[in-house]
Chain A
Amino acid sequence: MNGPVFDIAHMLAGGLVLVSMMMLYQDRLYALLNVFALHSLVLTLSVAWQALIQDAPHLYVTAAIALIFKAIVIPVALHRMIRQLGIHREIETVVGVGPTMLAGIGLVALSIVVMLRVTPEADPLAREDLAFALSVLLLGLLIMVTRRNAVSQVVGFMSLENGLVLAATGAKGMPLVVEISVAFSILIAFIVIGVFLFRIRERFDTVDVRALDDFRGRRRK
């Protein structure tokens, strides 16, 4: 693995972690969506670079899916949805930005420690891709946990999926089945989400999940 090849892969994968941290910092829906689009864009570049250096043309498909669906279609659709619902106000984070980011740093440290320790013999690029992927995954989880708004939970989930794609492409020669299925599942997930938001809108005129919690415990007739 010579210098620049490794460096670019390293920058892109690390950039994904950085953008994940940026998502933790965002507290407005539009900004969050824009950062998510950036996240997917970085992922696209990273996957495309992997396709180039691994000489694995099928990864370009994954990159294209990431670009078209996750960097363009989904953010645009969610943008429109937010505008229609009129919920472009601040996200209500459960805990403040500071503690959240501190927790995020802790998770990054944890994943680096865990993944580097268990993969001493693997290819350095795969090792660090795994460490970064686990960080992105855990940060996505953190976004889902700290946000109460349904749209931002969805965004958190999709960023988590981006981490998985990073891990799958970092694992050299992983069969195509998985990549397509990952993309496919995201698509399904999106349909599910779309249906959900539509229905929630139908019922409550809000997508704040906390509004749903108020009904907990009261049984239907």
Chain B
Amino acid sequence: MNVLSPLLAFDAVAAVLLVPVVAAALLALLPGYRITARLNVLASLLTLLAALSLFVTERPEPGQYLLVDDLNIVFIVLNAFVGFTTSIFSASYIAHELETGRLTPANLRFYHAMYQVMMFGMNLAFVSNNIGLMWVAVELATLTTVLMVGIYRTHEALEAAWKYFILGSVGIAFALFGTILVYLAAQPVVGEGYDAMVWTILVEHAATFDPALLNVAFVFLLLGYGTKVGLAPLHAWLPDAHAEGPTPISAVLSGLLLNVALYAVLRFKILLSASPEAIAAGPLMMTMGLTSLIFAAFMLYRRRDIKRLFAYSSIEHMGIIVFAFGLGGPLANFAGLLHMVMHSLTKSAIFFAVGHVAQIKGTQRLSAIRGLTETHPSLGWGLLAGVIAIAGLPPMGIFMSEFLIVSSTFARHPLLAIPLVFGLLVAFGALLLRLTGVAFGQPRGSVAPGKASYIPMYAHLALVLGAGIYLPPPLVAWFQHIANLLR
């Protein structure tokens, strides 16, 4: 019953969880945005270091609540890294928001505290070994982002936050119902109590669970967590939430929160595939993934708001990733994992760039943002590089992962490759069409130089470029190992 004692047993895991909690408490109390912004960066850095130390420290045995294995380390490290770079970006971004008076110091205190609570929620979701705890953590992360999306208190921000809240809670409800069903399926085999909610025990015994119940449970879980991944029929919250919240939050939403929900879906997919008689999770996920991809690809054409544009691009990429994991098999899983990492890095880099652009121009309208490479070369070229990466052009990392996904689709289900490639091409065309004007058109609007640091953006892009050119063999071996784990 004691939550703390198993926590303290693992130092690195405890640090990953406790640093954000302590930081959130401090940030809520401290006045002055300069200190709090720096403290926010510091806390994120500490979390990142703790996450990295997970590689070297000995892994603890999976407990009743917490688990560290090969799969979730990728997610935790990625989460901590993007969280750290976003906090740097956020520090410069928020200073500008304060100057223009869109946010007050009281808002900021709240904002920073919520940022750390959100990081805690996401990390907890990754390390939890208990499916109930995982649900709680995902819900915590969602609620904090709801609050942050509404922080500007404009009509649109409130509408976006409300829509996010309503759709998000429906997702939450379905996910919990699915979780309860999993428990019910496990209960006759594992026995009542905590054991029937511990993921490692569930996987061990999944073969003997009632397959029909497991099927229904998975459908609910896929719908529930799929809402948060932003899959097509239930995606409506995503563009609004991205467009109306502060840009650092858009970056975190796209880069991290979608991954949290995806991670949950993956965990349950493993569970389902451990039961031989249950339906295959693959076709369901492939259908939802393809639908999202093609739908979002077409929606990209009609966007007028730059943040909305990239929000739809996130739906598209989550569709690709879910499709890859649905396809299954070592190669597709490998590609899906790689694509997820690349997408997180690239999309957050793009949002960093978009945030600066929107602050300089004072608007998010695509038609008002023109000729950036001329007026703001470093920003403009950075954004262009990000768009090249996200559109899947070589030599960036996304090209490689998309190439792997397409080739393994051709090898396994040639017919499905046609809609996949079609969707990718449509999205590619839309992005280039929309962004050439932004990068090369006749300069328009304010040409004031940006004061912010572009280091986080370039760091992400460099990583993506590096991954596209050369993947270190240990990383490949590690990802392959996880890919086999995912089945």
Q: Which residues of A are found within 8 Å of B274, using beta-carbon distances?
A: none
Q: Which of A168, A177, A189 contacts B180 (CB 8 A)?
A: A168
Please report the C-alpha to C-alpha distance between residue A163 and residue B180 in the assembled complex, in whole angstroms: 12
Given A196-B150, A221-B362, A114 contacting B158 (CB threshold 8 A) = no
- Min CB distance, B173 to chain A, in Å? 5
Q: Are A114 and B146 in contact, with the CB atoms below 8 A? A: no
* A89 at the B interface (CB under 8 A): no
Q: Which residues of A are found within 8 Å of B135, using beta-carbon distances?
A: 178, 181
* B433 at the A interface (CB under 8 A): no
Please report the C-alpha to C-alpha distance between residue A161 and residue B173 in the assembled complex, in whole angstroms: 7
Please report the C-alpha to C-alpha distance between residue A157 and residue B176 in the assembled complex, in whole angstroms: 14
Having A119-B213, A174-B197, A184-B136, one finds 6 other A-B pairs with CB under 8 Å, namely A119-B212, A150-B162, A164-B177, A173-B192, A178-B180, A192-B147
User: Is the interface on chain B under 10, 10 to 19, 20 to 34, or 35 or more residues?
Assistant: 35 or more
* A91 at the B interface (CB under 8 A): no
Q: Which of A126, A173, A182, A212 contacts B155 (CB 8 A)?
A: A212
Q: Are A160 and B215 in contact, with the CB atoms below 8 A? A: no
* B92 at the A interface (CB under 8 A): no
* A110 at the B interface (CB under 8 A): no
Q: Which of B136, B196, B212 contacts A117 (CB 8 A)?
A: B212
Q: Are B183 and A212 in contact, with the CB atoms below 8 A? A: no
* A61 at the B interface (CB under 8 A): no
Please report the C-alpha to C-alpha distance between residue A168 and residue B184 in the assembled complex, in whole angstroms: 10
Please report the C-alpha to C-alpha distance between residue A140 and residue B147 in the assembled complex, in whole angstroms: 23
* B130 at the A interface (CB under 8 A): yes
Please report the C-alpha to C-alpha distance between residue A174 and residue B132 in the assembled complex, in whole angstroms: 10
In the complex, which residues 427-463 of chain B have their Cβ closer than 8 Å to any Cβ of chain A? none
Q: Are B136 and A181 in contact, with the CB atoms below 8 A? A: yes
Q: Which of B133, B136, B162, B180 contacts A185 (CB 8 A)?
A: B136
Q: Are B130 and A118 in contact, with the CB atoms below 8 A? A: no
Q: Are A157 and B187 in contact, with the CB atoms below 8 A? A: no
Interface string of A208-221 (1 = CB under 8 A from B): 01001101100111
In the complex, which residues 142-188 of chain A have their Cβ closer than 8 Å to any Cβ of chain B? 144, 150, 153, 157, 160-161, 163-164, 167-168, 171-178, 181-182, 184-185, 188
Please report the C-alpha to C-alpha distance between residue A133 and residue B305 in the assembled complex, in whole angstroms: 41
| Main DSSP-derived SS at the A contact region | helix
* A82 at the B interface (CB under 8 A): no
Q: Which residues of A are found within 8 Å of B192, using beta-carbon distances?
A: 172-174
Q: Enumerate the 9 nearest inter-chain pairs by beta-carbon distance, A residue then B residue, closest first.
A: A173-B192, A215-B155, A118-B212, A212-B159, A181-B136, A178-B132, A118-B216, A167-B180, A175-B194
* A24 at the B interface (CB under 8 A): no
* B484 at the A interface (CB under 8 A): no
Q: Which residues of B are found within 8 Å of A144, using beta-carbon distances?
A: 166, 170
Number of A positions contacting B (CB below 8 A): 55
Q: Are A164 and B363 in contact, with the CB atoms below 8 A? A: no
- Min CB distance, B147 to chain A, in Å? 7
Most chain-B CB neighbours within 10 Å: which of A119, A173, A175?
A: A175
Q: Which residues of A are found within 8 Å of B162, using beta-carbon distances?
A: 150, 196, 209, 212
Q: Which of B130, B172, B184 contacts A171 (CB 8 A)?
A: B184
* B364 at the A interface (CB under 8 A): yes
Q: Which residues of B are found within 8 Å of A175, using beta-carbon distances?
A: 132, 193-194, 197
* B169 at the A interface (CB under 8 A): yes
The chain B residues found within 8 Å of chain A, CB to CB, are 1, 130, 132-133, 135-136, 139-140, 143, 146-147, 150, 153-156, 158-159, 161-162, 165-166, 169-170, 172-173, 176-177, 179-181, 183-184, 187-188, 192-194, 196-197, 210, 212-213, 215-216, 305, 362-365
Q: Which residues of B are found within 8 Å of A117, using beta-carbon distances?
A: 212
Q: Which of A150, A160, A203 contacts B153 (CB 8 A)?
A: A203
Q: Which residues of B are found within 8 Å of A9, using beta-carbon distances?
A: none
Q: Which residues of A are found within 8 Å of B362, using beta-carbon distances?
A: 221
Given A168-B180, A196-B162, A209-B162, A215 contacting B156 (CB threshold 8 A) = yes
Q: Are A171 and B132 in contact, with the CB atoms below 8 A? A: no
Q: Which of A119, A157, A204, A219 contacts B364 (CB 8 A)?
A: A219
Q: Which residues of A are found within 8 Å of B166, using beta-carbon distances?
A: 144, 153, 157
Nearest-CB residue, chain B, relative to A150: B162
Nearest-CB residue, chain A, relative to B154: A220
Q: Are A160 and B173 in contact, with the CB atoms below 8 A? A: yes
Q: Which residues of B are found within 8 Å of A203, using beta-carbon distances?
A: 153, 155, 158
Q: Would you list 25 pairs from A and B whose C-beta atoms are within 8 A, ordered by A residue? A: A115-B216, A117-B212, A118-B212, A119-B210, A119-B213, A122-B184, A134-B177, A140-B173, A153-B166, A160-B169, A164-B176, A164-B180, A174-B183, A178-B180, A185-B139, A188-B140, A192-B143, A195-B147, A196-B150, A203-B158, A209-B159, A212-B162, A213-B159, A220-B154, A221-B363
Q: Are A196 and B161 in contact, with the CB atoms below 8 A? A: yes
Q: Are B158 and A167 in contact, with the CB atoms below 8 A? A: no
Nearest-CB residue, chain B, relative to A54: B192
Please report the C-alpha to C-alpha distance between residue A182 and residue B175 in the assembled complex, in whole angstroms: 12
Q: Which residues of A are found within 8 Å of B132, using beta-carbon distances?
A: 175, 177-178, 181
Given A137-B173, A212-B158, A196 contacting B165 (CB threshold 8 A) = yes
Q: Which residues of B are found within 8 Å of A80, using beta-carbon distances?
A: none
Nearest-CB residue, chain B, relative to A185: B139
Please report the C-alpha to C-alpha distance between residue A24 and residue B276 in the assembled complex, in whole angstroms: 42
- Min CB distance, B189 to chain A, in Å? 12
Nearest-CB residue, chain A, relative to B1: A176
Q: Are A216 and B159 in contact, with the CB atoms below 8 A? A: yes
Q: Are A171 and B363 in contact, with the CB atoms below 8 A? A: no
Q: Which residues of A are found within 8 Å of B1, using beta-carbon distances?
A: 176
Q: Are B193 and A167 in contact, with the CB atoms below 8 A? A: no
Q: Which residues of B are found within 8 Å of A192, using beta-carbon distances?
A: 143, 146-147, 165
Q: Which residues of A are found within 8 Å of B177, using beta-carbon distances?
A: 133-134, 137, 164, 167
Q: Which residues of B are found within 8 Å of A182, using beta-carbon distances?
A: 176
Please report the C-alpha to C-alpha distance between residue A195 and residue B162 in the assembled complex, in whole angstroms: 11
Please report the C-alpha to C-alpha distance between residue A22 and residue B284 in the assembled complex, in whole angstroms: 36
